[in-house]
């Protein structure tokens, strides 16, 4: 077991060690361009995806047109995890979309069940991932209901800082995506950016955020990050 970073907005590499075993099972290789939809609102989830390359975005959509990014899944991810076809109202609001160009393998949930039962170590890893993702969702619920705008944006920036989305202290992510990940308005995000720039915590440019003072950024996060 490992210590979970609560604000784990980006999941990657969790199933790399099982890749050969996973790809021995019945699946369909899929290629998606940036923005392509893997599964959309009103489609019941029946398939899990092993991400070979690129990044998949999981969002919750609302009938008013607003969207909240739940998490991003990079290479070595297997998501969503299901054991059989089922029908939950929540699934009708979920959207899986290619955040970048994506190469993935599509598995019927019943095939994922076969893998779970056939390989004890993989089954344990699937359970750990499910528990970690659930813990992350609890963190998100607490943050969305209690934290101020500064903490919400800082949680996202700090949570993504130690992932492959960040190179040379620079996050390659748009302000719109930070807005959808943090769950606040564009105006609120812009105000937080201005504050962090004034405090010399970040520098921003189109599609990029450079973290200048990680420790100071951490001090603005929820207490779970301190």
What are the tens digits of pLDDT across the range 22-52? 999 999 999 999 999 887 655 667 889 999 9
Nearest to 110 by CA among 82, 86, 87: 82
Q: Indicate the CATH number of 147-225 among 1.10.10.10, 3.40.50.10320, 1.10.443.10, 3.40.50.300.
A: 1.10.10.10
Phi/psi at 207 (5° precision): 75, 10
pLDDT of residue 26: 96
pTM to 2 decimal places: 0.81
pLDDT of residue 59: 87
pLDDT of residue 43: 60
Over 90: is that where the pLDDT of 98 sits? yes
Q: What is the DSSP string of 179-195?
A: HHHHTS-HHHHHHHHHH
Domain ranges of the chain: 10-143, 147-225
Distances (CA, A) of 83 to 6, 75, 115, 116: 25, 22, 10, 8
- Candidate from 26-35, 83-92, 96-105, 144-153 with smallest mean pLDDT: 83-92
What CATH fold (topology level) applies to the domain 10-143? Jelly Rolls (2.60.120)
Nearest to 14 by CA among 45, 51, 48: 51
């Amino acid at each position: 077991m490992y210590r979970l970073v609560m604000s784990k907005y980006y999941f990657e590499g969790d199933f790399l060690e099982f890749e050969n075993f996973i790809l021995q099972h019945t699946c369909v290789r899929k290629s998606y361009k940036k923005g392509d939809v893997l599964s959309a609102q009103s489609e019941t989830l029946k398939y899990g995806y092993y991400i070979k390359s690129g990044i998949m975005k999981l969002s919750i959509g609302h009938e008013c047109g607003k969207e909240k990014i739940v998490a991003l899944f990079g290479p070595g991810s297997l998501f969503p995890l299901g054991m059989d076809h089922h029908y939950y109202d929540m699934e009708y609001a979920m959207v899986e979309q290619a955040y970048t160009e994506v190469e993935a393998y599509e598995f019927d949930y019943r095939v994922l069940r076969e893998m779970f039962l056939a390989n004890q170590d993989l089954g344990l890893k699937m359970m750990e991932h499910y528990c970690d993702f659930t813990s992350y969702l609890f963190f998100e619920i607490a943050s969305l209901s209690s934290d101020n705008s500064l903490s919400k944006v800082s949680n996202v920036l700090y949570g993504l800082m130690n992932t492959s989305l960040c190179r040379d202290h620079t996050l390659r992510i748009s302000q719109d995506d930070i807005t959808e990940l943090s769950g606040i308005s564009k105006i609120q995000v812009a105000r937080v950016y201005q504050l962090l720039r004034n405090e010399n915590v970040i520098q921003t440019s189109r599609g990029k955020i450079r973290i200048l003072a990680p420790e100071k950024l951490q001090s603005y996060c929820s207490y779970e990050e301190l």
